[in-house]
Structures are given as C-alpha cells and as structure tokens.
Amino acid sequence: VTGTHHPLTLHFKKSGLPKMAELGAGSLLLGDPAFNYQEHELNERLKRLYPAVNEDETPLPRSWSPKDKYSYIGLSQNNLRVHYKGHGKNHKDAASVRATHPIPAACGIYYFEVKIVSKGLDFLSSLLPLSPILGWDKHSYGYHGDDGHSFCSSGTGQPYGPTFTTGDVIGCCVNLINNTCFYTKNGISLGVAFTDLPPNLYPTVGLQTPGEIVDANFGQQPFVFDIEDYMSEWRAKIHGMIARFPIGERLGEWQAVLQNMVSTYLVHHGYCATATAFARATETLIQEDQTSIKNRQRIQKLVLAGRVGEAIEATQHLYPGLLEHNPNLLFMLKCRQFVEMVNGTDSEVRCFSVRSPKSQDSYPGSPSLSPRHGATNPNLHSAGADSPTCSNGVTPPNKNKSHNKYPGISSASSSSSSSPSSVNYSESNSTDSTKSQPHSGTSNQEETSDSEMEIEAEHYTNGVAENPSARIMNGTYKHQEILQAQDISLEDSCASRQLCGGNQAATERMIQFGRELQGLNEQLCREYGKNVTHKKMLQDAFSLLAYSDPWNCPVGQQLDPMQRENICSALNSAILESQNLPKQPPLMLALGQATECVQLMARVRSGSCSFARVDNFLH
C-alpha cells in the first residue's frame, strides 16, 4: 500500500551467515515440542496484546530478519539471539539488525524487550531499538547502553536514562496513539524518549563490540514490564473520550436518530408488537404497514421453525414473482427444505408422521430464534475476525465455529430473558388472545398483557404443555391455509431423532424431493451456468443420507436449527428489497460503517483504533 515493505539495501554477505542463523530462518524446528509450545505462547500473547491487528495485512514482528542485517551480525535461536562478530574497533564497525516487519499501527501500543546476555569484551556500545524504513542509521531512534543517551536521527545523543549492561532487560514501547516512545529497564519505565515518531518503525538492535550477545522477546515470553497495565490506562482513556464525546446542542437530534434505529431494527426483523409498543412509547412512526410486517414475520417464523416448504409456499403466495426472480434464493431455500426433511421438521415429511415432529422447540439449548444479524453483510467483519459475541447473550451449548462468525451485535432486546423470538412468538398469542381459548387452559398465565417477562415464561411453558399447539394455530394468521393446525406440535426436543421422523413414506418423499432438487440444480446450470456454491450446498445436503445418524456425522452441523438463520435473513432481505424497503436495517449499516471506519483507522495509522473496537461497546 505504501511501499514500505521494500527490503533494505545493505552490505549483506550471505556467506557470512552462521549456520545457526540459516537454520532458524525458516519455519524449521517444527518437530521441537518446546519450540511449538513457544510458538503457541507467542501467538496467544500477540493476539491478546494486539487484537485489532489483522496479520494478513500487517504482520507483527516475531523475530529478527536474516535478510535485513549487517554482515557483522549473527543470528541464532530462531532468529531471536543476536551476536556481534565484527572487529569492533570503531564506530564504523557498528552493526544492526531489524525485525521482519514494521510495527503495525493497529497495535495501538507496541512493546518488545531485549535481554543483554553478554556485554562483550569492552562495553555494550549501543542499542538502537527502533528504525524506520528510510535509512539504517539515519532516521533511527535508539537508546545507548554505554552512556544512557538517547539518539534521534543524527549522531548527537541526549542524556536520557541509566546505562545498561549484562543481565539487564531493556524494553521499548511505541505508543502509536500519540506517536511517542519510552524505554524500560528491568521493568521500570524510563519516561518518554521521543515524540512525533514517524510511522512504520522496525524494532532494531545495534551492536559494536565483539562478544556482545542480546536476546529479543517479541512476545515469546512474558515481559518484565507490565505492558498490559499500561495498555489498560490507554484503553480507559480512549473509552472515556468516546463516552464523553461532546454532542452539544444536538441531544434531541441524536435521540430521534437512536429511536429510529431501534424502531427500524425491530420492524426489519418483524418484531411487530415490540415495534408497535416502541413506536407508541417514543411517539414515532413506523414506515411499513402492519400487515406487511406480520407477513414477513410469519415467513421468517416458518423458516426458523424448519418448515421451509411452507415458507416457500407462503412467499409465493404473498409475494408472487419474488422467488421466480431470485432463483438462487429459491435454490437455497429448497436445499434447506431438503435438510429439514431429513431433520423431520418440514411439513412435507411431517404429515406422514404419526408423532408430530418438532417445531419451535427443536432449538436445543437456544431458547431464542434471534436472526443472525449481519450474516448477509460480509462487510461487517473481515474473514477470520473473531467476534465471540452470541446474538442473544446466550451461548448455545452446541456452539461451533460458525457461531463465532457472528458479528458482535446485540440489540436492546437481545438479552436472554427477552429474546426477540420469544417476543415474536408470544406476540401472536397475545394479540389473538389465545389465552382465553379453552385449549390454553394448560397455561398458567393469568395476565393478558404482552409484558416481556410474561411472554418469556409462556415461551418456556411450551415445552411441557400437554396440548399447546392450539394456541399457535388459533386464528393467528390471515392466511389460515399456511399453517395447518394438525401440523404443529411442540414435542420435547430430546425425543429420539430419526431420519424424516422415522417414517417410511416420509423418507420416500424426501428422496423424491432430492431428485427434484437435483433437477432444479441442473436446470439452473443450464440457464445460468455452473454454480460452485450450489453444487457444494447440494453435495453437503445429500451427504447427510450417507450416515446412519445424520445428527452425529461430519456434515451433521447442517441440521442445527441455527443454520436456518442465514437463509431466513436472506429471504427477509429479499422480500424487503422487493417492497422497495432497505434490505439492511440502519442499525446494521451504522455498525458496519463503524467497523469499517475502525479498520480504516488502522490503515491510515491511527493507533487509537486498537482501543476503539466496536466489539468493546457491544455486550
């Protein structure tokens, strides 16, 4: 990007390299368990210290560079130990080596240490722990061991700190937020040495006396100086700065924006009753009409319940032409439908079943059906970025890798006690006063209000209700035909899982459906050309049949109800788009923008980005 990665041109004699240095240069010694352990330690520590650094873009220094060094320098011990092998007669014999990479700005605060193993025959001449790309000795910044002076760019040193010698551990901390640097000696901060530092500095060490040996610690070992404590101060500072950001006269304006964000978010995901209640409380207006929201909500609910076939039908009924114009989406839905047939949840197989298959409660371990926010917005988080926040604040026990890819979002309504799905679900109950129905006598709820607590309690009662299905079906929907009363039952999710609910006819239907799906894929291939994603999707789905227990097989993850959220969200967005409504709620856009901005800060070398991570503000 900035041309900063050109190697330096130095008088560099390859033949002068000692054997050890060559050995340590690559990724050798992999078989050494101690080395692997150290490597693991290093990765862990670097990840903890510099969570904002994207090492694909800006790798962290991990060792000295065998390429960028003077010939008088020898490297050993995985390129961490530096020794001097020149004459050491005068200043011209000084030699230095720099680290493999410059310090990324996204570190915010960067730190490394050097231990003086041997001060050499004479005395330790110099240590130049920092140098930018431009020059080697020019434009470098250093702290010298023999006189304790600090050197900046040119030759004349300034009195800075104490001298140092064999056994001392010297550290160097670069603050990329205010562009200053300080050194430490044996864990004690010596105070600011330089201000107005340029970007892209390399950790560097310089030696001048025969026998001098120094060991670097880029995070391989715990540091002597408590750098994490120093970081915590800056994190607190930056968080304070954000919290106290002056908004002046615009307080009212901000409030309106925030209300709008919450409202649109609720509407987007179809939390109709909550959105209405919120609009009433804040005296705001909802753009989309109630029916439209409810329609979307119902379709989403069907998908999340695993009843994809019905969802497709409903979509075709309510939004004719939508799926026809989105063949990819349709294919995805059908694939999912196939998976749900295996699962025994889709209505196409469920109607064969003696025992009603599971629906809502087939979400083991996760009482909430919160949509997977942002899954359709790849911009939100770059690949590999790990944001361990679970959307509902509830970590499902069957949490797997894909969950980690959740963008760290939690809306106001996503605490575990008021998960959006439960609101969603009970909303249909309360608005339709199902509780007054005789069938709902099993429910102990006496209140008719739709307060969250009550809703939640009711949601949980479902699992043990004797015949709670009545509550769901009772005239909730305008399109009664979408949901068949007899189709829904709320079995305990722990009931034994069998292919297609264990029904022979259902299995046959499933296989037939699989053939149809195969046909659809071929048809799409003919029309639009080969689609790798489709092929993979289809393969994965069909692979389920290869195992006697699809739920406990390598591809069994597909059966996880959590997997429905992706497709649900995609379908919802497609519907909204077809209605000329934004396919993303503004809240998600704002979040995406903030995340992007922080990443941009790293690229323009604004160090504070490391302590202003969006994740830190989402709980």
Partner 1 sequence: TKCVHLSPVSLSEVTATSRHYVDRLFDPDPQKVLQGVIDMKNAVIGNNKQKANLIVLGAVPRLLYLLQQGSSSSELRAECAVVLGSLAMGTENNIKSLVDCHIIPALLQGLLCPDLIFIEACLRCLRTVFISPVTPVQLLYTDPTVIPHLMSLLCRSQRTQEYITQIFSHCCKTPEHQTVLFNHGAIQNIAPLLISPSYKVRMQALKCFSVLAYENTQVSMTLVNVLVDEELLSQVFVRMMQRDQPIDMQLTAAKCLTYMCRAGAIRTDDSCIVLKTLPCLVRMCSKERLLEERVEGAETLAYLMEPDVELQRIASVTDHLVAMLADYFKYPSSVSAITDIKRLDHDLKHAHELRQAAFKLYASLGSNDEDIRKKITETENMMDRIVSGLSESSVKVRLAAVRCLHSLSRSVQQLRTSFHDHAVWKPLMKLLQNAPDEVLVMASSTLCNLLLEFSPSKEPILESGVIELLCSLTQSDSPALRVNGIWALMNMAFQADQKVKGEIVRALGTEQLFRLLSDPDSNVLMKTLGLLRNLLSTRPHIDQVMSSHGKQIMQAVTLILEGEHSIEVKEQTLCILANIADGNTAKELIMTNDDILQKIKYYMAHSNVKLQLAATFCISNLIWNEEDGSQERQDKLRELGFVDILHKLTQASDPNLCDRSDTATHTSLPLSFSFSLHKTDAHKHAHCVVGY
Binding site for partner 1 (CB under 8 A): 161-162, 182, 185, 187-192, 226, 229-230, 232-233, 235-236
Which DSSP helix (H) or strand (E) runs through 259?
helix 251-268
> Going by C-beta distance under 8 Å and a sequence separation of 6 or more, which residues neighbour residue 424?
269, 270, 271, 272, 297, 301, 369
3-state SS class at 396: coil
Phi first, then psi: what are they for 386, rounded to 5°?
Answer: -105, 115
Which CB, 22 or 228, lies closer to partner 1?
228
Q: How far is the CB of 191 from partner 1 (least distance, A)?
A: 4
Which CB, 150 or 443, lies closer to partner 1?
150
Which CB, 233 or 447, lies closer to partner 1?
233
Q: How far is the CB of 222 from partner 1 (least distance, A)?
A: 13
- Using CB atoms within 10 Å of the CB of residue 157, give its burial: 0 to 12 exposed, 13 to 18 middle, 19+ buried: middle
Q: How far is the CB of 231 from partner 1 (least distance, A)?
A: 9
> Going by C-beta distance under 8 Å and a sequence separation of 6 or more, which residues neighbour residue 291?
478
Which CB, 185 or 435, lies closer to partner 1?
185
Q: How far is the CB of 116 from partner 1 (least distance, A)?
A: 16
Q: How far is the CB of 225 from partner 1 (least distance, A)?
A: 8
Which CB, 25 or 190, lies closer to partner 1?
190
User: Tokens at residue 101, please?
Assistant: 């990479």
Q: Please give the Cα distance from 152 to 193 (Å, whole number).
A: 9
Which DSSP helix (H) or strand (E) runs through 214?
strand 212-217
Residue 388 contacts residue 410 (beta carbons within 8 Å):
no
**Buried residues in 52-90 as b, exposed as e (16+ CB within 10 A):** bbbbeebebbbbbbbebbbbbbbbbbbbbbbbbbbebee
Pairing of strands 64-69, 130-132: unpaired
Which CB, 50 or 72, lies closer to partner 1?
50
Q: What is the DSSP string of 172-194?
A: EEEETTTTEEEEEETTEEEEEEE
Q: How far is the CB of 237 from partner 1 (least distance, A)?
A: 9
Which CB, 190 or 555, lies closer to partner 1?
190
Which CB, 130 or 227, lies closer to partner 1?
227
Which CB, 184 or 424, lies closer to partner 1?
184
Q: How far is the CB of 188 from partner 1 (least distance, A)?
A: 5
Q: How far is the CB of 236 from partner 1 (least distance, A)?
A: 4
> Going by C-beta distance under 8 Å and a sequence separation of 6 or more, which residues neighbour residue 270?
293, 294, 296, 297, 300, 424, 572
Q: How far is the CB of 186 from partner 1 (least distance, A)?
A: 9
Residue 142 contacts residue 135 (beta carbons within 8 Å):
no
Which CB, 230 or 547, lies closer to partner 1?
230
- Helix ranges (DSSP H) in 474-529: 504-528
- From 377, 310, 405, 389, select the one nearest 348 (Cα to Cα): 310
Q: Please give the Cα distance from 475 to 96 (Å, whole number).
A: 80
Q: How far is the CB of 559 from partner 1 (least distance, A)?
A: 43
